Chain A
Amino acid sequence: GQQVMQIPQYQHVQEGEDFTTYCNSSTTLSNIQWYKQRPGGHPVFLIQLVKSGEVKKQKRLTFQFGEAKKNSSLHITATQTTDVGTYFCAGRRSGGGADGLTFGKGTHLIIQP
């Protein structure tokens, strides 16, 4: 079945440093979504990417979808304590018909003041 791998599993950064998490799929994706889960909270939808090579920005967050539509990244510039949490990618297999989203295991962002 489809697999979505995320790296790293954990990332410690100093406040103000940049952070990047990577998502790789075993199959070509029709779209990829990103979610954020604060400690003790629930996943919250951030964004969806659909087009090959697409780049979207939300303030300090930059999301990219690879040219081959098999990988994606989330980059946070100048991290703040409010960025703490787990970031999940979720992808849907291209031509997947009735398939739903497959979630990666997430990257835990830990910020040291």
Chain B
Amino acid sequence: NAGVTQTPKFQVLKTGQSMTLQCAQDMNHEYMSWYRQDPGMGLRLIHYSVGAGITDQGEVPNGYNVSRSTTEDFPLRLLSAAPSQTSVYFCASSYDIRGVNGYTFGSGTRLTVV
């Protein structure tokens, strides 16, 4: 049981480049979400999904797109990378949005935009 798998673990992008951060879970969780973590800012919600085909914006959605075509996968797309998007990105999943048994986090993607 792998839990939540994020790839890549590290990435360096040039300003203006696009890329997709991958997130997959094998726990049949309906709820999936993306957070960014910056020093002193805690975990800020970017986008979330309560099931396949359903996505919604979180606190800081600008510059990011998501889709949820399957229960297992929830990729995060950076459309045109900016230095302000340098951060650590975490994907999290749970049985449902309430997180009854807690959110399970992936190991993170450390992104640097130069």
Contact = CB atoms under 8 A, between A and B. Distances in A.
Given A43-B43, A43-B90, A105-B42, A99 B97 contact: yes
Interface residues of A, number: 23
A9 B41 CA distance: 11
Nearest to B44: A103
Contact of A100 (B31, B42, B106, B108): B31
A9 B43 CA distance: 14
Interface in B51-94: 90, 92
B27 interface: no
7 contacts: A35-B103, A42-B90, A45-B103, A100-B33, A100-B97, A104-B42, A105-B41
Given A33-B103, A43-B103, A45-B102, 15 more contacts: A9-B40, A35-B102, A41-B107, A43-B90, A46-B102, A48-B100, A92-B98, A92-B99, A99-B97, A100-B48, A100-B99, A101-B99, A103-B43, A105-B41, A106-B43
